[in-house]
Amino acid sequence: MSDPFLIGWDLGTARNGWCAGGGESTPVAGGFRLGRVTPDEIGDMGCEFSARVMDVSKRYPQATHWISERPLLFMRATDDRPYADDRFKVERLMGLSCLLQTIGRKLGKVCKMVEPGSAKMEFAGRHASKDMMVEMALALGIELPEHDADGREDAADACGVWKVGLRLFARHHLQRFDGAIYTRRGSLV
């Protein structure tokens, strides 16, 4: 059996990121922005998202595994979580997650959802900021979009998701990336 080729996805209501590679070489990352929608246009957002996912899928037809984080949703503010997502955001994130899984399964991909926060933990540490995720991706030689508006931070987050997938499905490639990550992470502390 050949090595799995992984695509890690970072889903968001406005910007989304992806990172693709097999582990034997440095992965490729990118991002895309979705148009703004109202609750009445959520189906239009789904169509746009599906088209963008298919664009990435056509670019990497050899992909065998798609990995994404479960949506992290807070419907109610608490003492330790002083913010709450609005219902529309919850609907969009759940919809995007479901669409990604559905498209992947229809294309015959192994689809895996991992725990929220696992990408940051795997890639740059539990309390990693977006800047730290970008810095880590660049330190590993992964090219990212030039600007945040183009999905730079989301592509970096997708690199973390990709690395979680590597740990799950292609452990034999981990040493190459873990050495660079742990050496670099020590310098970020």
What the chain holds in terms of domains, given with CATH numbers, is 6-188 (3.30.420.10)
pLDDT digits (tens, 9 = 90+) for 149-182: 889 999 999 999 999 999 999 999 988 888 777 7
Sequence-ordered list of residues with C-beta below 8 angstroms from that of 88, at least 6 positions apart, any chain:
39
Taking the C-alpha atoms of residue 102 and residue 17, their distance in angstroms, rounded to an integer, is 18
Relative to beta strand 15-21, strand 6-10 is antiparallel
Percentage of the chain beyond pLDDT 70 is 88
Burial of residue 9, with CB atoms counted within 10 A of its CB: 0-12 exposed, 13-18 middle, 19 or more buried: buried
Is 166 in a helix, a strand, or coil? helix
Buried b (16+ CB within 10 A) or exposed e, 58-93: eebeebbbbbbbebeeeeeeeeeeeeebeeeebebb
Tokens of 57: 């899928």
Checking if the pLDDT of 143 tops 50, the result is: yes
Top-confidence residue, 97 or 79:
97
